[in-house]
C-alpha cells in the first residue's frame, strides 16, 4: 500500500477534494435526519409530518378543535381517531345521509367516552317503575292527569320558538346530565306556567351540590332528584346567585329562610308511546327522558334511526325533549343535550320517534313548578 505522503501532488489534491465532498454530504444528511426526528418527535402534534392518510386528517381535526398532544399521547389519540373513523363509516352506511362524523369526542376510546360523559352503570336503578307524586309545599297539590287525548296537536312543535328554552350548556366532565335536564325543564315550565314573564336561568349547581339523594358529579337519577325536590326543603335560586362550576362542592345554601323554585308535582312513566310523548310535549311542556347515548360519541346532525338500542341496561344519560317533527321523512324528537353547543346540531340531537330509538320514551318524567319559601331549612 502506497503512503499518502508519497503520492503525486495532483492525486493527493484530488483525493482530498473527494473526501471533503463526502464529508459535506454526510453533514447535510445528518442535518436532514436530525431535522426530521426533531419535527417528528419533539414538536406539538399538529406540526407532525403525516406518515399515513389518517394522520393528515387527524392533524386537521386537532386544529379544528384546538387540541394539542405531546408525542406519546398523540400516537394514542391518533389510534382512537382511526377507530372512530371506521365506526363513523360503519354507522353512516345504515343511514341515507351522513349522520355521524368527527366530534370533540372522536379521539377518545369508547370506554373513555363512556367513563367521562355517561352515568355509571346502575344509575337508573333496577326496573323502570311508574311514579306519581304530589308535593306538599305548604299547600295541597294534586298530580294533574293529561286530559287532552282528544285534542289535535300540531304536526310540528318546538318550544324553542316560544323562547322558553335556554341556550345549550356544557356539563364538562361532571356527570350531572340529570341536573341539567331537570333544571332545564323547570326553567321552561316557569315561563309556560306564567310564573315569570321571560326565560331566566336557574342554578344547576345548587341542585348538584345540595341534593342528598344523588351523588353530585359522580351520578344521579331523575326520579330520585324529583322526589328530593318534592320531599325536602330545597328551592332552586337563580343561576346568578349560585353559578355553575361543574365540580363537586359543598352546598352553599346556608340561610334557614329563603325563596326559590321547586316542583309542585311529578310524574314518571315507563315505555311511553311516541305519539303520547308528542302530545305531552305540545300540551304540557318539555319533558325529561333517559337515553342510551353510546353512539352519540360521533354524532353530527340528522336523524338517528339505527343501531341505537333502547335496552334499559344500556341507558346512562339524561336529556330533555323540547319538540318534534312528524312531517319529516323520518319523524323525529328534538333532544336538548348538555354537551355544549359545539356538539351535534348546535347542541341538539334528533332521534327517530318510533321504536324507542336510543331509549327515548323508556322513562319520561314531567312536572309542574311553583314558587316556594323555605322557612325552616336545617
What pLDDT, in 10s, does the model give residues 337-352? Answer: 999 999 999 999 999 9
Residue 77 has pLDDT above 90, yes or no: yes
Report the pLDDT value the prediction gives residue 30, as an integer from 0 to 100: 52
Predicted confidence (pLDDT) per residue in 267-321, tens digit: 999 999 999 999 999 999 999 999 999 999 999 999 999 999 999 999 999 999 9
**Measured between alpha carbons, how far is residue 181 from residues 109, 138, 252, 344 in Å?**
26, 26, 21, 17
Domain borders along the chain are 4-67, 110-374
Residue 184 has pLDDT above 60, yes or no: yes
Buried b / exposed e over 189-223, threshold 16 CB at 10 Å, is: bbbbeeeeeeeebbbbbbbbbbbeebbbbebbbbb
What is the Cα–Cα distance from 320 to 189, expressed in whole angstroms?
12
Report the pLDDT value the prediction gives residue 52, as an integer from 0 to 100: 77
Residue 137 has pLDDT above 80, yes or no: no
Report the pLDDT value the prediction gives residue 6, as an integer from 0 to 100: 59
What is the Cα–Cα distance from 198 to 190, expressed in whole angstroms?
9
| pTM: predicted TM-score of the whole model, two decimal places | 0.84
**Measured between alpha carbons, how far is residue 240 from residues 203, 244, 253, 348 in Å?**
8, 9, 14, 25
Report the pLDDT value the prediction gives residue 33, as an integer from 0 to 100: 44
Report the CATH number of the 110-374 domain.
Answer: 3.90.70.10
Report the pLDDT value the prediction gives residue 219, as an integer from 0 to 100: 86
Please provide the average confidence, as pLDDT, over all residues in the chain.
87
What is the Cα–Cα distance from 254 to 302, expressed in whole angstroms?
46
Report the pLDDT value the prediction gives residue 142, as an integer from 0 to 100: 43
Amino acid at each position: 500500500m502506497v503512503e499518502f505522503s508519497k503520492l503525486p501532488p495532483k492525486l493527493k489534491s484530488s483525493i482530498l477534494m473527494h473526501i471533503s465532498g463526502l464529508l459535506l454530504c454526510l453533514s447535510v444528511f445528518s442535518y436532514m435526519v436530525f431535522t426530521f426526528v426533531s419535527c417528528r418527535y419533539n414538536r406539538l402534534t399538529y406540526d407532525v409530518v403525516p406518515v399515513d392518510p389518517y394522520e393528515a386528517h387527524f392533524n386537521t381535526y386537532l386544529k379544528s378543535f384546538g387540541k394539542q398532544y405531546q408525542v406519546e399521547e398523540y400516537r394514542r389519540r391518533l389510534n382512537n381517531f382511526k377507530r372512530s373513523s371506521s365506526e363513523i363509516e360503519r354507522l353512516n352506511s345504515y343511514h341515507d345521509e351522513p349522520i355521524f362524523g368527527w366530534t370533540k369526542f372522536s379521539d377518545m376510546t369508547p370506554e373513555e367516552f363512556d367513563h367521562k360523559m355517561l352515568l355509571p352503570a346502575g344509575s337508573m336503578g333496577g326496573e323502570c317503575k311508574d311514579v306519581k307524586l304530589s308535593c306538599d309545599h305548604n299547600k295541597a297539590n294534586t298530580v294533574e292527569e293529561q286530559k287532552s287525548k282528544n285534542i289535535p296537536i300540531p304536526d310540528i312543535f318546538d318550544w324553542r320558538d316560544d323562547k322558553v328554552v335556554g341556550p345549550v350548556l356544557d356539563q364538562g366532565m361532571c356527570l350531572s346530565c340529570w341536573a341539567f335536564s331537570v333544571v332545564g325543564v323547570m326553567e321552561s315550565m316557569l315561563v309556560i306556567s306564567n310564573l315569570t314573564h321571560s326565560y331566566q336561568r336557574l342554578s344547576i349547581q345548587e341542585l348538584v351540590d345540595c341534593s342528598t339523594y344523588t351523588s353530585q358529579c359522580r351520578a344521579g337519577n331523575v326520579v330520585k332528584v324529583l322526589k328530593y325536590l318534592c320531599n325536602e326543603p330545597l328551592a332552586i335560586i337563580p343561576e346568578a346567585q349560585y353559578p355553575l362550576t361543574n365540580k363537586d362542592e359543598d352546598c352553599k345554601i346556608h340561610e334557614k329562610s329563603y325563596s326559590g323554585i321547586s316542583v309542585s308535582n311529578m310524574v314518571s312513566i315507563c315505555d311511553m308511546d311516541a305519539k303520547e310523548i308528542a302530545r305531552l310535549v305540545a300540551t304540557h311542556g318539555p319533558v325529561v327522558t333517559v337515553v342510551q347515548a353510546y353512539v352519540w360519541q360521533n354524532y353530527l346532525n340528522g336523524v338517528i334511526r339505527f343501531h341505537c338500542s333502547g335496552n334499559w341496561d344500556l341507558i346512562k344519560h339524561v336529556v330533555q325533549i323540547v319538540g318534534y317533527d312528524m312531517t319529516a321523512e323520518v319523524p323525529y324528537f328534538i333532544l336538548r343535550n348538555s354537551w355544549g353547543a359545539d356538539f351535534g346540531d348546535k347542541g341538539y340531537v334528533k332521534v327517530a320517534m318510533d321504536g324507542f330509538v336510543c331509549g327515548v320514551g323508556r322513562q319520561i318524567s314531567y312536572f309542574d313548578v311553583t314558587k316556594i319559601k323555605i322557612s325552616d331549612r336545617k
